[in-house]
Amino acid sequence: MSDLKDILNSYQPACVALQETHLKPENSFRLHGYIVFRKDHPANRASGGVDLLISNNIPSSLLTLNTPFQAIGAQIFTHKLITVCSLYSPPNTHIDQTNLNNLMLQLPEPFVILGDLNGHSQIWGSDDTNSRGRQIEKLLHVHNLCLLNTDEITHFHTPTRTFHSIDLAICSPSLLP
């Protein structure tokens, strides 16, 4: 928590998306200067979970998302209205392509999705492509979305001591310069 506070104090971001928060409903989570929108694990376990931290200086409103995913969305107004979504998809769980498509249709454009999707694809720097990665590739193609990732790694898997790129930043094309 102190690392997160240091980052917030140093960079003062307008919005931060968190995944795998591991919070239960009874856990208090507040950060000075930020509104916290959160969605805990659906089984009220201390695992998974997503948050959006939005600066108190930024007008925002929580979106209602009808999805089986661990996802939370909000609209923020910086220089224009933008939808931000924090999304977590645990490894080894089935993702239905229809549910992914339905989530995209619920996000007012322009939008940014920031998430730990646990998908591997050579497109975003993985050594190989798995079925989850192919689903995400299809999502990008079908909805004409932009992947903001470079080939940089985003995760170190401690048990296998390997690096992966499983955290993705995806946006509507209208957000690109």
d(CA 148, CA 70): 21
Residue 41: per-residue pLDDT:
81
The total domain count for the chain is: 1
Sign of the CA dihedral running 49, 113, 72, 31: positive
d(CA 75, CA 85): 9
CATH code assigned at 2: 3.60.10.10
Say what angle helices 131-142 and 97-106 make with each other, to 10 degrees. 40
d(CA 136, CA 142): 10
Q: What pLDDT, in 10s, does the model give residues 52-89?
A: 999 999 999 999 999 999 999 999 999 899 999 999 99
In order of 10, 68, 111, 165, the CA distances from 77 in angstroms are 22, 27, 12, 30
The tens place of each residue's pLDDT in the chain, 177 residues long, gives 688 999 999 999 999 999 999 888 888 888 999 999 999 887 776 678 999 999 999 999 999 999 999 999 999 999 899 999 999 999 888 889 999 999 999 999 999 999 999 898 999 988 889 999 999 999 999 999 999 988 777 777 687 786 677 789 999 999 988
Question: Domain span at residue 113?
Answer: 1-175
